[in-house]
Amino acid sequence: PTTKEAGLDLEIGVWHGLYAPAGTDPAIIARLETALQAALTNETVVARFAELGTVPVTAEEATPAALTEMLTSQIELWRGVIEAAGVYAD
3-state secondary structure the chain: CCCCCCCCCCCCCCCCCCCCCCCCCHHHHHHHHHHHHHHHHCHHHHHHHHHCCCCCCCCCCCCHHHHHHHHHHHHHHHHHHHHHHCCCCC
- Render pLDDT for 31-67 as a digit per residue (tens, 0 to 9): 999 999 999 999 999 999 999 999 999 999 999 999 9
- Render pLDDT for 7-24 as a digit per residue (tens, 0 to 9): 887 777 788 899 999 999
Mean of pLDDT values over 78-90: 86
The pLDDT of residue 51 is 97
Work out the pLDDT band at 81, boundaries 50, 70, 90: confident
